[in-house]
Chains A and B, each alone.
Chain A
Amino acid sequence: MSDASFPAPGSPPPQTWVVIPAYNEGEAIRGVVEELLARGYPVVVVDDGSRVPLLEVLRGTAVHLLRHVINLGQGAALQTGIRYALERGAEVIVTFDADGQHQSADIPALTAPIRAGRADVALGSRFLLGGQAVHISRSKRAVLKLAVVFTRWTTGLDVTDTHNGLRALSRKGAQTLHITQNGMAHASQILQQIAAYRLAFAEVPVTVVYTEYSVRKGQRLTNAFNILWDSFAELFYR
């Protein structure tokens, strides 16, 4: 297997780190982590105050394991992992879901615009030509599309997928973004900040597979209203 995430021999490998926010993950995360490690990426797992500490599940894997002593939310976990990776000298940071719906094989293509210096943020899109949303429910697709329309309208960004946890950031991009939305509204916040700070961004087609586990672990569609509310409330805290 040729892995395009690494440049030709001789040039130093880019410092691509993978950050995984995790909360009460059981079955899937170990496999996710092992696959990423096998591909050679340093992996940071942020255990967001899981009831059973993830240390048990991840024992023996070569990860950087951080733990929030209190559950703060996925946005907060991402920001913690990103800051840690930056402190450790990461040049490219990939955010990756713990539930197994993302494909590690997508990372080389996702980070390509960053490594080429064309973008500071690369967003994985399951709706872009070449991307895929496998086993997605019709209602979920509808809500996600609605979120896309809403985001295009509020940020003016020409995006096709707004709530996909698979993203890549350059060091500059990671330093510029500051996620203060601890909950799930961070996805919208990232896009708002891309627009506000005029960060160069690219969308890359990726495959998202909805397994039975990821659907069960994932969000309820009604949470879209909470996200809208959080985004709205944020307007008053500039």
Chain B
Amino acid sequence: MKPVQLLLILGTAGVLLSYLAFFRSKLLDRLVGLLLVLVAWFSILFPEYTTVVAHLLGVGRGVDLIFYFFGLFTAFALILLYTQGRTHSQQLTELIRHLAIRDALVSPGAREQPAAAALPRDS
């Protein structure tokens, strides 16, 4: 085994373990994660097979195929994160709005409606 293979396998194992440990995700998600890591290990240990798949898809080298998919995956993940961030900011907005309305300071004498006193006296 080449040193780089060992590094990559240890790295992916670390990612998988932290995913399983830190995220209380659904069983299906965990299985998908596990499957992805198994595929990763297989392509790390037998890189020549990625080239076979690449040829099937019309790409010259397995490394290139993985690179393309990496780009696609990253873009997808970014959009997912952006959407999540937006959802969170909307929730935060609602929370802050709720607090602002709940804790409104109404000065003594603040009007609830246009006061009759503002009407001209002679009318």
Contact = CB atoms under 8 A, between A and B. Distances in A.
- Bound pair: A and B? yes
Interface of A: 2-3, 5-6, 9, 13-16, 37-43, 46, 55, 60-70, 72, 76, 79-80, 83-84, 87-89, 180, 182, 237
26 contacts: A5-B114, A13-B119, A15-B114, A37-B111, A38-B118, A40-B118, A40-B119, A41-B111, A42-B111, A62-B107, A62-B108, A63-B107, A63-B110, A64-B104, A64-B110, A66-B103, A66-B104, A67-B105, A69-B99, A72-B96, A76-B93, A80-B100, A83-B97, A84-B100, A89-B112, A180-B90
B75 interface: no
A13 B101 contact: no
A6 B115 CA distance: 11
Contact of B105 (A13, A42, A64): A64
Interface string B64-82: 0000000000000000000
A180 to B, nearest CB: 7
Contacts of B93: 72, 76, 182
A67 B100 contact: yes
Nearest to A237: B86
A9 B93 CA distance: 42
Contacts of A16: 114
Given A67-B100, A67-B103, A69-B99, A62 B112 contact: no
B120 interface: yes
Given A40-B114, A40-B119, A83 B103 contact: no
Contacts of B113: 13, 15, 42, 89
Contacts of B86: 237
Nearest to A91: B113
A209 to B, nearest CB: 24
Contact of A6 (B92, B107, B114): B114
Contacts of A43: 110-111
B106 interface: yes
Given A40-B118, A55-B105, A237-B86, A70 B92 contact: yes
A13 to B, nearest CB: 4
B117 interface: yes
B97 A69 contact: no
Nearest to A2: B120
B25 interface: no
B118 A39 contact: yes
Nearest to A37: B111
Contacts of B99: 69
A62 B105 contact: no
Given A40-B118, A66-B104, 19 more contacts: A2-B120, A3-B120, A15-B114, A16-B114, A40-B115, A43-B111, A62-B108, A63-B110, A64-B105, A65-B105, A66-B100, A67-B105, A76-B96, A79-B97, A80-B101, A83-B101, A87-B101, A182-B89, A182-B93
A155 to B, nearest CB: 23
A69 to B, nearest CB: 6
A55 B120 CA distance: 31
B103 to A, nearest CB: 7
A69 B96 contact: yes
A88 B110 contact: no
